[in-house]
Amino acid sequence: MEPGFYTLTRRSVEAYLQGEPKYLAKDQSVDAHALESALGQVDEAVLDSLKTQTVAPAQNIAHPICDRCHKLKHHHSGQSIQHPSIQSIQDTIFESPYKYNHIYHVVDAADFPMSLIPALYRLLHLTPQRSMNRRSKTGRFYHGKKTEISFIITRSDLLAPLKTQVDSLMPRLVEILRDALGSFGKDVRLGNVRCVSARRDWWTKDLKEDIWERGGGGWMVGKVNVGKSRLFASVFPKGRRGAAQQDPSFSTPTLKPTMDATLGKSDNSLRTTGLLDPITLLPPALEEVDYPAMPLVHPLPGTTASPIRVPFGGGKGELIDLPGLARGDLELHVQEPHRLSLVMRSRVVPEQQVIKPGQSLLLGGFIRITPVNPECTILGYAFTPISSHLTSTEKAIGIQTQALETGVENISVPGTGDKIKSAGTFQLKWDVTKQRSGPITASDAAGITTDRLPYCILSTDILIEGCGWVELVCQVRKKQLDPSGVLDGHGKDDNSRLEQTPANISWPEVEVFSPDGKFIASRRPINAWLNGGPKKPSSNVKGRPRKSMKGAKKRMKVSMREASRQ
């Protein structure tokens, strides 16, 4: 069903066309509508005698949703739209009527940073990211407009159970983002990175105030199913139209974001002629209300079919929700009933899987992780909504290629087994010895430094696009890892850059097999198992008190006497 079409026989559409009071907007009560209807039936002479003017019929009626949104909202059925290209997103943003624009690049925390768009700076003519130089410029205009960017990591509640734990991960997330930006992110500041959770209301108030203070055009840009629409509803400044009119600084023309007159002609032509300009990609702005309708939120990829412009602050600015870019076609390799299960909706607490030599880890029956080094035992933690299964490599190959019938479920469509290819070999090269050694390296216990230990613990995160990640951990001896002894002292800093590590180190490796050899990447670990693993029992909880032994010795002697008499 195509988006934007309405069935005239639907009850909500008929009620909207007839103007029934049941479908009035939320800010207009039914009592007010009944009063207006009653006054409309009174004779005009009586109204003139009472010096009362006739009240016009109610015009503020809530708009019904289209047939596609209706089925998504109430029946959870529908098809994804054809995802727009980055070129169409660029053309849409270039039609912005505002002089000052801000891009909120929404990145999903589930597979961070796979949903990042690295070429966004070059395509959208954004203000360059400030370098480390203290004399670097803070802004630049292109074609009379200034467009800045912020990186928003959404759904951060998937990373850890507590807000303080996610806050402590920010330095690691910034370094992961710097690695994903490549050579561009090597020498730039990344002070425009935010980590929010619309579900738990983590840091959404700060972002809402930032949107309100900035004004102008705010654009939600990102790939599908990264949480743009849900974040839109959480950070949109509602109910502030009166506050903006009372703000004296807002009435100053120099502080009010300017709007391009040539690009605002489409809205004027709509009000005068009632027709839309077929050439423009940006739809007309909606009438501003205190509490507007928010975009529909659904796990189906591509729920938002067109840009949604919602103004705020009495003309102070707009927040625009853009359709998501294509994220990958992993759901096309999965059976229809299991496609929605690929989306991680809540935090996963996985089980620890011990991958011994000759074994492999299966995810959903169609993604396989196999260790390359036969002498290494790897611990795996699958932070994915699809089930994981540990089995022998030979059996895992048969299940993945759909050549073996077992009790392990394979959620891929028939024929996917012929498309299985290697997605690459990934190294466990990040040192997490200090985090995982426990009391051996703790300062209040043994206090042994990591460079004195004869072993090191290495880790990496294997990312599955749009689904989640698998944390892999391996403990190896330093002599086995580096016989030449060059690695001594390497474990002092687990955040050391890859360029600083020796090049001749034989890191433990795993090979990942997936459909068409796609949808897989890796990142430095965030130690999610240490933060969000199974809940440890509290040490303050006392056990059952010891049974009272008062008089037990006396009773024992009495029983012994009775036994001797017999």
Type and span of the H or E element at 20: none
Is residue 560 assigned to a domain? no
Same domain assignment for residues 255 and 391? no
Domain limit, last residue, from 296, 321, 346: 321
The answer to whether the CB of 468 falls within 8 A of the CB of 384 is yes
Give a yes or no: residue 539 inside a domain.
no
What does the pLDDT profile of the chain (566 residues) look like in tens digits? 677 788 888 888 888 888 765 544 444 444 455 556 665 666 666 656 655 444 444 455 677 888 888 888 888 887 777 888 888 998 899 889 999 999 999 999 999 999 999 878 777 777 777 777 777 777 778 778 888 899 999 999 999 999 999 999 999 999 999 999 887 778 788 888 999 999 999 999 999 999 999 999 999 999 998 999 999 999 999 987 766 655 544 433 333 444 554 445 555 554 554 455 666 788 888 888 888 889 988 888 888 888 999 999 888 999 999 999 988 889 999 999 898 889 899 999 999 999 999 999 999 999 999 999 888 999 999 999 999 999 999 999 999 999 988 889 999 999 999 999 999 999 999 999 999 988 888 878 778 888 889 899 999 999 999 999 999 999 999 888 876 665 555 544 444 444 455 557 889 999 999 999 999 999 999 999 998 888 776 666 677 778 888 888 888 999 999 998 87
Contacts of 292 by beta carbon, 8 Å cutoff, 6+ apart: 236, 238, 286, 310
Q: Are residues 5 and 149 in the same domain?
A: no
Provide the pLDDT for residue 286.
81
Rounded to whole angstroms, how far apart are CA atoms 177 and 193?
Answer: 9
- Verify that 442 and 466 share a domain, yes or no: yes
Q: Which residue has the tokens 């580096």?
A: 482
Last residue of a domain, one of 79, 114, 148: 79
Q: Could you tell me if residue 515 is inside a domain?
A: yes
- SS3 for 523? strand
Distance CA 474, CA 510 (A): 11
- Please indicate, yes or no, whether residues 404 and 440 belong to a single structural domain of this protein: yes
Instruction: Indicate if 120 and 264 belong to the same structural domain.
Output: yes
Q: What is the dihedral of CA 225, 229, 231, 232, to 10 degrees?
A: 160
Q: Which token pair is 477? A: 């001896």
Domain membership of residue 559 (yes or no) is: no
Position 256 in a domain: yes
Res 138: pLDDT: 72
Residues 271 and 402 in one domain: no
Question: Does any domain span residue 557?
Answer: no
* Helix ranges (DSSP H) in 128-237: 163-168, 170-180, 204-214, 228-235
Q: Which domain-ending residue is among 294, 321, 348?
A: 321
| Same domain membership, residue 63 and residue 130 | no
Residue 562 lies in a domain: no
Same domain membership, residue 233 and residue 345: no
pLDDT of amino acid 58:
45
Residue whose entry in the numeric block shows the structure tokens 């839309």: 276
Query: What is the residue range of 337's domain?
Result: 332-532
Number of domains present in the structure of the chain: 3
What's the whole-model pTM score?
0.80
* Residue 212 tokens, joined: 């309100």
Cα–Cα dist 415/402, whole Å: 8
**71 and 104 part of one domain:** no
Within-domain flag for 543: no
In a shared domain, residues 337 and 314:
no
308 and 355 both lie in a single domain:
no
**Residue 283: which of 301, 262, 313, 263 has the closest Cα?**
263
DSSP string, 479-519: HHH-TTSTTTTGGG-TT--GGGS-TT----EEEEEEETT-S
C-alpha 254/C-alpha 247 separation (Å) is 14
Q: Which amino acid is at 433?
A: T
Separation of alpha carbons 526 and 110, rounded Å: 12
Name 360's bridge partners. Answer: 391
Half-sphere exposure of 454 (CA within 13 A, CB side): 2
Q: How far is CA 34 from the centre of its chain?
A: 45
User: Any idea which residue has 């002479």 for tokens?
Assistant: 45
User: Do 270 and 351 fall into the same domain?
Assistant: no
